[in-house]
Amino acid sequence: MTTLHYPRATRRRKLVRLLPAAVITLALVLAMVLNPVMSRVYASNVFGSLRAPGEPAFVAGHRGDRSVAPENTLPALEAAIASPMAFVETDVQLTADGVPVLLHDETVDRTTNGTGRISDLTLKSARSLDAGSWYSKKFADTRIPTLDEFLEVFAPSRKQLLLELKGFWEKEEVAVVVDLIRVHGVDGRVTLASFDFTTLMNSKSVAPSMPLVIIQRMMPADPVGLANHFDAIAILTSAASLEADLTAVERMHEAGLGLLVYTLNSTERWSEAIALGVDGIITDKPSSLDKWLAETAPGT
């Protein structure tokens, strides 16, 4: 495994979140002006192309392929890597001792036999938990994987990774993740994503050439302005958000930006999204979506 020195876990997350929006905006603008290596990454470079209405979107397995294995575990992620899908999506958080691990919820309660916030557990404590039995006895004693372990499995593949930074991240914490990505030589295949605006700003500051995706349950009136504000390549949003603004995909594409949608698990939803021309679909049923696309759009 890769040996890195992890920063001491921060206790100032809630305080930093309260920074005024004007301060965040100014800091981002100054970073872009003063940092000459901050170069624009285009959506078409990452997604291959921006889709026209009716053109098949890329498929991303949500937390791996959770239809065959417990979410965000190595078996689920390995299944996603072995499948035809283009992207793998997973979530990363820090343990109490600052080690990046793959977990969606703030607590380990739902997906392990333990309790408590992952940010309050050391890596040793987190790794002692059973993250598979809740799903099936077949996966008993499956452990919460570290990001390092996953990247070792991911690196030999040709997949793209959509890595969500859960919650708020300090710059030095983002740097730990970015360092691991670079050590494994996969920085050309990883896109960082977050709901948190300060985390997005910190990510751009730490890794200006690494593509960013903004996650928004409901898009703002000006999604293009939001994406450009953070120099993001795309927005990842909900089906409800798309239904509320049927022109959003067209406006994003006209600006050279991508639009992705989560988490769609039925043929009806897939059809609606593809008819709008979304670029990527996050799904819990990636194998089913791949099969459906092959049947409805031969040659994909």
**Catalytic one of 104, 184, 229, 253:** 104
Phi-psi region for residue 277, left (φ > 0), alpha (ψ -120 to 50) or beta?
A: left
Q: What is the pLDDT of residue 105?
A: 98
Residue with token string 């020195």: 5
**Catalytic one of 5, 62, 184, 229:** 62
Report the SS3 class of residue 224.
helix
Q: What is the pLDDT of residue 42?
A: 93
pTM of the full predicted structure? 0.87
Q: In the chain, what are the domains?
A: 43-296 (3.20.20.190)
- Separation between Cα atoms, residue 161 and residue 164, nearest integer Å: 10
Which tokens belong to 170?
Answer: 């300090």
Dihedrals φ, ψ of 22, to 5°? -65, -35
Contacts of 3 (CB under 8 A, 6+ apart): none
Q: Is 62 a catalytic residue?
A: yes
Q: How many CB atoms lie within 10 A of CB 87?
A: 22
CB-count burial class (<10 Å; 0-12, 13-18, 19+) for 288: middle
Which residue ranges in the chain fall short of pLDDT 70? Answer: 1, 3-40, 298-300
- Separation between Cα atoms, residue 227 and residue 140, nearest integer Å: 42
Q: Which of 216, 225, 9 is nearest to 119 (CA)?
A: 9
Counting every residue, how long is the chain? 300
Q: Residues 119, 121, 125, CA angle at the centre, nearest 5°?
A: 150
Q: Is 253 a catalytic residue?
A: no
Does residue 68 contact residue 52 with C-beta atoms inside 8 Å? Answer: no
Beta bridge partners of 195: none
Across 7-57, the runs of DSSP E, i.e. the strands, are none
